[in-house]
Amino acid sequence: MLVRLIYKSRLKESVGWADVVNIASNARGKNESLNITGMLIMNGAGVLQVLEGESGAVNDLYGRICADERHGNLQLISFGALGERHFGRWKMKEVNLQRMKGDFRDVVASLLIKDEQGNLTLPSDFERAYALLAFIDTITSAR
Ligand SMILES: Cc1cc2nc3c(=O)[nH]c(=O)nc-3n(C[C@H](O)[C@H](O)[C@H](O)COP(=O)(O)O)c2cc1C
């Protein structure tokens, strides 16, 4: 059964964008062999990741990711069966929202959530998380 898993996390302070680029680069080989596809979005210390693939493979990978000490706090947003992949183009595509330019930046900002300090943070609910991932997917493949 094909499934999609989306989670959100806050990475430990010592983990930066260069590390995420490395994580995604290493992940691509592994994900390809597991037939897993997806995206990894970073916003400050926050990350939002979508994994699509066979249920067993996605579950096992999520277990490994949960055990990864680079995560501060990890929060499952959704897990469920799907008919076909939406993020099938990427073995794992990393995107830094803080490096987004022009009009895209404004649309992305409208899909983020304002926290108590007024900072824009990644959404925790499925609808907005999926909308954000789908938007990033669209503009990323357009390039
Ligand atoms: C934010 C984040 C996303 C990750 N995404 C993946 C991924 O898509 N695929 C993958 O194989 N490892 C990913 N990893 C790395 C895994 O947590 C783990 O380090 C890796 O699978 C190696 O596990 P192993 O040492 O048990 O083989 C990610 C790690 C982090 C912190």
| Residue ranges lining ligand 1, Cβ < 6 Å | 23, 27, 30-31, 40, 47, 49, 61, 64-65, 68, 70-71, 92
**Cα–Cα nearest to 50, from 67, 72, 65, 70:** 65
What would the pLDDT profile of 46-71 be if each residue is shown by its tens digit? 999 999 999 999 999 999 999 999 99
Residue that has been written with the tokens 């979508």 in this structure: 50
Rounded (5°) CA angle 130-17-66: 60
pLDDT-derived band at 27 (thresholds 50, 70, 90) equals: very high
Q: Which residues pair with 43 in a beta bridge?
A: 46
Count of residues making up the chain? 143
Q: Which of these, 128, 125, 34, 37, lies nearest to 76 by C-alpha position?
A: 125
Q: What residue segments make up the domains of the chain, in order of their start?
A: 2-141
The domain over range 2-141 is classified in CATH as 3.30.70.100: yes
